[in-house]
Amino acid sequence: SLENPIHSLLLSLSLSLFLLWKIKVTLIQGDISNPEDVRAAVKGAHVVIHTAGLVDVWGRVRPEKIMAVNLQGTKNVIEACVTQGTQYLIYTSSMEVVGPNIKGHPFYRGNEDTEYEAIHHHPYPLSKAKAEQLVLEANGRLMPDGKRLVTCALRPTGIYGENHLLMKEFYEQGLVTKKFMIRAIPASTEHGRVYVGNVAWMHLLVAQKIQEDSSTIGSQVYFCYDDSPYKSYEDFNMEFLRPCGFRLFGSRPVLPFLLLQFIALINSLLQWLLKPFCVYAPLLNPYTLVISSTTFTVQTDKALRHFGYKPYFTWEESRNRTVRWLQEIRAERQAGK
Ligand SMILES: *[C@@H]1O[C@H](CO)[C@@H](O)[C@H](O)[C@H]1NC(C)=O
């Protein structure tokens, strides 16, 4: 999942609220791994939506850094809420706190109560799982003024939308191969995806409800989903790339899966060998191969039942907005030439 776009989206949502209703927005820049910075940012707020996170499943960032931002940062947010008397905390978690696991067990249209063997070795899912646990355990903590902290977590599936860095990377890689791509993963592998605007919308709804009905929302987790169709990663990305003139070749995977596994292994070997000299972090590694070739989709209405969530953007609007953004990149590139 990608958390930065939510951050900017929440920001732009609050900015547009500001323009509409003259709500004041104050930007405070700081380092989330520094408790003092976080305390200063939280001071005076009565709800915190904690979306900050470092997403890396490719080995681009050192594991210690991922832990510092995702885990220590979350500890800092919790402590800041308690010491500053901020009673409500909403945490942007990730579906990856559940799976897909490295064994490749499918999670087919499951909900928040579906049993699944969560196994975390990689720093990113590990840091998110631990941070989510801390947030949920902090629910009910006594604060200096006698009130109790109320917390919950939202777990977005794969987020897409404007400024989706990975989509931009696919777009640029696709230009290298003349907009011609080959299928690597069977089309029957389903992945859950959610539009960034709906992720933001769900945060705003739960932020309101948690203050009105803290006994229902407190310590709960919610998958973060919308009406985006269940498809494989490749077929889903083609929904945006096809209108830009891209083509996906093959109704079945073109390369044998064993070969992909072999390339993934070679990539991780190269990453290890090159470590002293440079960061070699291609998109394909054994972890990303398992993630992209394992079905993981959610089907739930918990957020609808608990706080009346319905997607704000339809699938068609979400797709159109994402396509428009990609086409703007293309226009900018052509103007730049
Ligand atoms: C989405 O884009 C298509 C093609 O440009 C257009 O026909 C359709 O009306 C758009 N739908 C929405 C909801 O914006």
What is the per-residue pLDDT for 24? 74
CA of 328 to the centre of ligand 1 (A): 16
**For residues 295, 124, 225 and 132, what is the CA-based torsion angle, rounded to 10 degrees?**
120
Angle ∠(303,194,53) on CA atoms, nearest 5: 90
Residue-level pLDDT at 158: 94
78-123 pLDDT, tens digit each: 999 999 999 999 999 999 999 899 888 999 999 999 999 998 888 9
**Unique residue bearing structure tokens 């696991």:** 101
Task: Report the atom number in ligand 1 closest to the C-alpha of 314.
Answer: 13
pLDDT at 290: 87
pLDDT of 30-62, one tens digit each?
A: 999 999 999 999 999 999 999 999 998 888 899
| Atom number of ligand 1 nearest to Cα 317 | 13
pLDDT digits (tens, 9 = 90+) for 277-306: 888 888 889 888 888 899 999 999 999 999
| CA-to-CA separations, 309 to 1, 156, 201, 302, in angstroms, rounded | 20, 14, 8, 9
Q: Is residue 79 helix, strand or coil?
A: helix
Which residues' Cβ are closer than 6 Å to ligand 1? 316-317, 320
Q: Which residues pair with 146 in a beta bridge?
A: none
* Minimal-distance CA residue to ligand 1 atom 13: 317
Q: Which of 239, 313, 314, 320 to mutate to test the pocket of ligand 1 (most atoms within 8 A of CB)?
A: 320
- CA 131/CA 153 separation, integer angstroms: 10
Between CA 124 and CA 37 the distance in angstroms is: 23
- Please compute the mean of the pLDDT values over residues 173-191 and round it to a whole number: 90
Q: Can you give the pLDDT at residue 121?
A: 85
Question: What are the tens digits of pLDDT across the range 207-258?
Answer: 999 999 999 999 999 999 999 999 999 999 999 999 999 999 988 888 888 9
Rounded (10°) angle between helices 73-84 and 35-42: 50
Ligand 1 mean position, distance from CA 276 (Å) = 50
Q: Is the pLDDT of residue 17 over 60?
A: no
Q: In terms of Cα–Cα distance, which of 78, 60, 76 is closest to 68? A: 76
pTM, to two decimals:
0.89
More confident residue, 194 or 280: 194
The secondary structure of the chain in percent helix, strand, coil, rounded to multiples of 5, reads 50, 15, 40
30: which 2 tokens?
Answer: 């700081």
Closest residue by Cα to atom 12, ligand 1, is 317
Q: Which atom of ligand 1 is nearest to the CA of 316?
A: 13
What is the pLDDT, as a whole number, of residue 50?
A: 96
Q: Which of 244, 315, 316, 319 to mutate to test the pocket of ligand 1 (most atoms within 8 A of CB)?
A: 316
